[in-house]
Amino acid sequence: MDEKYAEAVKEMEHRFGIMVEAGDWTARITFRSTRPTYDAHRLSFTICKDR
């Protein structure tokens, strides 16, 4: 994972209280708390990798 990508993931984990397991083109998102502050259905984002 390049630096920018890793940085974006870290920021997201911190901001939303989630854990992101990033694959090449997908990421699995896990809420750390059992009762997430954010509605999982309304939380969506895309991390674009530069080609």
Taking a C-beta distance cutoff of 8 angstroms, is the pair 31, 43 a contact? Answer: no
Domain ranges, ordered by start, for the chain: 1-51
Give pLDDT < 70 ranges for the chain: 1, 22-27, 30-51
Per the structure block, which two tokens stand in for 17? Answer: 């209280």
Per the structure block, which two tokens stand in for 8? Answer: 């974006």
pTM of the predicted model, to two decimals? Answer: 0.40
pLDDT of residue 38: 53
For residue 37, the 8-state DSSP code is: S
pLDDT of residue 23: 65
Per the structure block, which two tokens stand in for 10? Answer: 């870290």
Per the structure block, which two tokens stand in for 19? Answer: 């854990």
**Tokens 């630096």 label which residue?**
3
Amino acid letter at 14? H
Whole-number CA gyration radius for the chain: 11
